[in-house]
């Protein structure tokens, strides 16, 4: 990449090393082309990346290869960290928004519960219905008893007055209970809807918090993007020019020269030099 090329150029002063004038307008092109011819990256059949650098200075070539490897590791790692930071910012914003929404829902629920006297949508309705049923049963029983006592002549008047007062109290109690039930039923659907929204947002908030913890843990971990199998070492044998090819070329050239010399010699040896001379 351009970033890697510029890094190697700056780190190893390749303008000077490759004898390129940095003031030349085309200097960046020349140094990049020169480096491109000498710097190779290939993928092995095992899936590993192999980085090689050629140079007349074998130690410099090894240092450049190791530096390139470190940079190749740093570039994707930086991109990963940047992506993780963006994700963390996104989740933090989402968490803040959900917390604000939960607070608003909690306030609304508190207002509705106080207005309609609702404290538990699950059990309060059953309790109120059971209370109303028991009150109505006792009221019916006491009304019946009062009627029987009124028809009896031997019952003290105080007993009848006491039972009559008790019946009126139960009637008021039943009336109040039914009013509470009506108010409860009026606000039940609204409270249940807000409670459902609260639970859904709270569940999503928990998921966001857990996801944020996972990303923060991954962001804090120093995990390399590449795993080093073998660092670059100074070359023992030159990669070019190849000595074998040089020797073969020289041998072939010598052989052709000898053959040509023999052919020329044989050609001139067969000529009649005396006749040619007399002519």
Rounded CA-CA distance 150/255 in Å is: 149
Give the separation between CA 54 and CA 161, rounded to whole angstroms.
Answer: 117
- Residue that wins the pLDDT comparison between 97 and 277: 97
Lowest average pLDDT, out of 15-29, 65-79, 108-122, 138-152, goes to 65-79
CB 9 within 8 Å of CB 35: yes
Looking at every residue in the chain, the average pLDDT score rounds to: 82
- Does any domain span residue 216? yes
The pTM (predicted TM-score) of the whole model is 0.58
| 1 lies in some domain | no
Using CA atoms, how far apart are residues 39 and 251, in angstroms rounded to an integer? Answer: 32
What band does 245 get if pLDDT is binned at 50, 70 and 90? low
| DSSP E strand boundaries for the chain | 39-43, 49-53
Confidence of residue 1 (pLDDT cuts 50, 70, 90): low
Residue 275 has a pLDDT of 57
Q: How many domains are there within the chain?
A: 2
Domain that holds residue 273: 241-279
Q: Locate 85 and state its tokens.
A: 């930071």
Is residue 204 situated within a structural domain? yes
Question: Does one domain contain both 267 and 184?
Answer: no
190 and 250 in one domain? no
The answer to whether residues 185 and 269 belong to one domain is no
CA triplet 53, 56, 61: central angle to 5 degrees? Answer: 30
106 and 179 share a domain? Answer: yes
Give pLDDT, residue 210.
Answer: 95
């Amino acid at each position: 990449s351009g970033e890697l090329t510029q890094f190697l150029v700056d780190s190893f002063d390749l303008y000077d090393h490759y004898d390129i004038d940095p003031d030349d307008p085309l200097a960046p092109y020349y140094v990049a082309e020169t480096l491109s011819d000498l710097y190779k990256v290939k993928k092995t059949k095992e899936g590993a990346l192999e980085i090689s650098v050629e140079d007349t200075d074998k130690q410099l070539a090894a240092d450049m290869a190791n530096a390139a490897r470190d940079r190749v590791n740093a570039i994707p790692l930086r991109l990963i960290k940047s992506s993780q930071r963006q994700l963390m910012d996104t989740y933090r914003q989402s968490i803040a928004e959900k917390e604000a929404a939960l607070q608003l829902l909690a306030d609304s629920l508190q207002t509705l519960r106080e207005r309609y006297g609702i404290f538990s949508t699950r059990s309060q309705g059953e309790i109120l219905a059971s209370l109303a049923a028991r009150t109505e049963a006792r009221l019916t029983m006491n009304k019946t008893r009062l009627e029987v006592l009124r028809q009896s002549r031997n019952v003290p008047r105080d007993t009848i007055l006491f039972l009559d007062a008790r019946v009126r109290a139960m009637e008021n109690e039943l009336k109040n209970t039914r009013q509470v039930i009506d108010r409860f039923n009026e606000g039940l659907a609204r409270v249940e809807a807000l409670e459902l929204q609260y639970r859904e947002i709270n569940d999503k908030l928990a998921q966001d918090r857990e996801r944020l913890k996972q990303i923060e843990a991954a962001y804090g971990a120093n995990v390399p993007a590449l795993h080093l199998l073998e660092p670059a070492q100074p070359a023992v044998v030159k990669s070019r020019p190849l000595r074998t090819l040089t020797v073969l070329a020289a041998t072939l050239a010598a052989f052709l020269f000898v053959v040509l010399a023999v052919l020329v010699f044989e050609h001139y040896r067969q000529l009649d030099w005396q006749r040619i001379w007399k002519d």
